[in-house]
Amino acid sequence: MSTHDTSGLLVHAIDPTRLDVIRTTGADGHGNQLRPFAATGKGEPLRCCLRYAEAGEQVTLISYAPFEHASVWREIGPVYIHAPRCEGYTPTGWLPEQLGAGPSVLRTYRADDTMNYEHNTVVSEEADLEPIIGRLLRNPDVATVHVRTLAPQCFLYAVVAD
């Protein structure tokens, strides 16, 4: 994952080198061939640059697991990325502008990458996620927060304390 400082938080987009392998091989490593298409611009959140796709941009849907190592919490799910390589996530000093508000599911993980169910949080309205994520990461038993979409619960990005 790519890392950027955001006011005491480190935001992790999907690592560009991991995406380079997918684009070079033409497959996502989970048996799915890349099938680029023109984005509608109506809500395709890009995990490579942490923003919504604009209408007409070439994107593709891949299967992705935030954890690369073996884990019972390793979930594989669909995520949008640019079909051609993009510049990735540019730090802004905050959470990604277009993906920094709810509704979202905030899944918390301990330092050993086990899920911490006690602190998982559903943000059902359009709320600023930064103070909520900051509060979650101040818990000594929360090392990482995965930000996910609310309805399908697809992975958006990960956040850790700086």
The pLDDT of residue 108:
98
Top-confidence residue, 148 or 90:
148
CA-to-CA distance for 2 and 49, rounded, in angstroms?
Answer: 10
Q: Which token pair is 42?
A: 């109506």
pTM of the predicted model as reported, rounded to 2 decimal places: 0.92
Each residue's pLDDT tens digit, 68-110: 888 898 899 999 999 999 999 976 657 999 999 999 999 999 9
Q: Is the CB of residue 33 less than 8 Å from the CB of residue 15?
A: no
Each residue's pLDDT tens digit, 12-62: 999 999 999 999 999 999 999 999 999 999 989 999 999 999 999 999 999
Query: Alpha carbon 138 to chain centroid distance?
Result: 20
pLDDT band at 5; cut points 50, 70, 90: very low
Q: Is the CB of residue 154 less than 8 Å from the CB of residue 78?
A: yes
CA-derived radius of gyration, the chain:
15
Amino acid at 153: Q
Q: Which token pair is 32?
A: 């799915």
Whole-number average pLDDT of the chain: 92
